[in-house]
Amino acid sequence: DAKTTQPTSMDCAEGRAANLPCNHSTISGNEYVYWYRQIHSQGPQYIIHGLKNNETNEMASLIITEDRKSSTLILPHATLRDTAVYYCIVSYNTDKLIFGTGTRLQVFP
């Protein structure tokens, strides 16, 4: 599975958009990009995933570059409850997810 690179930490003001980048330059053609988050020490929570096209759901949007070497997770209106560690994962499937150290997002009032 491809390796991902994420910033260690980011801050975001409440109500503003949070844009979390991820580099995955060695991604293979049929590997998906998954995003999960972990609030404190709870179980990781699925956010969104995509292959080539941009995706949007009720939680977030996922923008994947045309060459698929990087992506951005967008939380359109961050709230204090979005404070968490966000993991970007590339994988063929979800039976084995390789979690890195993620990005610690701090949303402040």
Partner 1 sequence: EAQVTQNPRYLITVTGKKLTVTCSQNMNHEYMSWYRQDPGLGLRQIYYSMNVEVTDKGDVPEGYKVSRKEKRNFPLILESPSPNQTSLYFCASNTGTGEAFFGQGTRLTVV
Which residues lie near partner 1 (CB under 8 A)?
32, 36, 41-46, 49, 93-102
CB of 26 to partner 1, least distance (A): 19
Q: Which is nearer to partner 1, 67 or 95 (CB)?
A: 95
Cα 84–89–95 angle (5° rounding)?
A: 110
Q: Which is nearer to partner 1, 81 or 109 (CB)?
A: 81
What span, in angstroms and rounded, lies between the C-alpha atoms of 106 and 109?
A: 10
Nearer to partner 1, 96 or 109 (CB): 96
Say which residues have a Cβ less than 8 Å from residue 62's Cβ, sequence separation at least 6: 33, 35, 48, 49, 50, 54, 55, 56, 71, 72, 73, 74
Give whichever of 14 and 44 is closer to partner 1, judged by the CB atom.
Answer: 44
76 beta partners: none
